[in-house]
Structure formats: structure tokens, C-alpha cells
Chain A
Amino acid sequence: DTEVTQTPKHLVMGMTNKKSLKCEQHMGHRAMYWYKQKAKKPPELMFVYSYEKLSINESVPSRFSPECPNSSLLNLHLHALQPEDSALYLCASSQERGGPADTQYFGPGTRLTVL
């Protein structure tokens, strides 16, 4: 099973709302990722968690707050977003065997629209 699940599939929120995106995997992977993909653009890395610790933050604005409650779950808390934050948010996971060749498995994404 190489499935990464993400909920919700679609999310519409106002600029004053607080919402969360959820990602889950049951492959025993110890690295999890958040990517942002704007329309007609490639995915861009936002955060990396390794063994439940934040290891990479690609200078993402603080209105995005990641959380890794356990090795299977990854959340992305959203607050005071801007319309330009509208995008497809992709979650991925990998085994984290310590090498650069770990395959990242992606979820289907959450389509976020900020009004």
C-alpha cells in the first residue's frame, strides 16, 4: 500500500478564517512533506518533517503552521491567508532511510481557494 490520503479534497475559506489540512499515511514512513502547487506551475516545497521534527522550512509565511502529531499524521494549520495562497496543497511521505534516493509518495492534494 503506497497511499497518502489528504482531507479535505476542496476547501474554500475567507481571509479571516482558521482552517486545517490533514495528511495521513500508514506506510511506516518517517519523513513527511508539504508542497504548494500554483496553477500551471510545478510543486514547491514548503516544509519537511523527519522523525516528527521539523527539518526544513522553506521560508514559508507564519500564516501557515505545520504540525506533526505522530509519525502517520501531518497537519497544516491555516490562518489569515491571502487570495494569492489559493493553490493545490500536496502532502508526501518517504521512508527516510538517510539517503537522497528516498521515493516521495504524494497524496491527491487539497484544492484551496481563499476569498
Chain B
Amino acid sequence: AQSVTQLGSHVSVSEGALVLLRCNYSSSVPPYLFWYVQYPNQGLQLLLKYTSAATLVKGINGFEAEFKKSETSFHLTKPSAHMSDAAEYFCAVMEYGNKLVFGAGTILRVKS
């Protein structure tokens, strides 16, 4: 079975600082990886996805992620945090049969 591990259940950054949210995957085959964001009391919104076309993936709201096979990582970054980025972020891997398996999530806090 495939899985993802998100390092850090809570991350706090200052407004304007770099955002780095960590995700490592475990997969015996090339994985399909996703980052979703969830604002309080809302559903999940796709930020970006990796499908092997390019290792650097650009998403919405200025986020991007780099797939590194050697490190089995798919970390999410944003150069400059905004207050509106405060939310919970989930890394996920797609298993056979369209089953999305989510990491435990990382809550991002942005300080003014």
C-alpha cells in the first residue's frame, strides 16, 4: 500500500516569509501525488498535482512543489506567505482504483 507522511502537524511562519510544508511518500511504483488545502469548515481544494510530466509543479495561489525521487519527497513551498494562506494542508497519494490516501495534515499559521 502507498502512503504519505507529513512532517510537522503545525507550522508557523511570519507574513512574507517562506512557506515549506513537508511530505514524504512511500510507494513501490511511480506515485501520483496531490496537495489539497482545507479552510475551516470547508471542503478540500486542489492546490497542485504531480503526474510525472514535470518534477516542478506549479499550483494555484503561488504554491509549487518539487518531486524528488531520490528523497521520496514532494514538499510544498510558497515564497511569501499571506494571512489568507492560514489553513490545513494535506498531501495525498493516489492508489489503484482512484483511492486517495491522505497524510495526517499540516496546519499552517501565518503571523502578522
Chain A positions near chain B (C-beta within 8 angstroms): 4, 6, 31, 33, 41-45, 48, 50, 55-56, 90, 92, 94, 96, 100-109, 111
Contacts and interface: CB of A to CB of B under 8 A. Distances in A.
Contact of B44 (A41, A55, A106): A106
23 contacts: A42-B90, A42-B103, A42-B104, A43-B100, A48-B97, A50-B98, A56-B99, A90-B44, A94-B98, A96-B98, A100-B32, A100-B96, A101-B49, A102-B98, A103-B46, A104-B46, A104-B98, A104-B100, A106-B36, A108-B42, A108-B43, A109-B41, A111-B41
B51 interface: yes
Contacts of A43: 44, 90, 100, 102
Contacts of B34: 103
Nearest to B6: A42
Consensus secondary structure, chain A interface: strand
Contacts of A6: 43
B41 A48 contact: no
Interface of B: 32, 34, 36, 41-46, 49, 51, 90, 94-105
Contact of B43 (A31, A41, A103, A107): A107
B102 A101 contact: no
Contact of B49 (A41, A90, A103): A103
A92 B100 CA distance: 11
A109 B49 CA distance: 22
A59 to B, nearest CB: 13
B98 A105 contact: no
Nearest to A42: B102
A100 B102 contact: no
Contacts of A103: 34, 46, 49
Contact of A45 (B36, B100, B103): B100
B32 A101 contact: yes
Residue in A55, A90, A101, A108 with the greatest tally of chain B CB atoms within 10 Å: A101
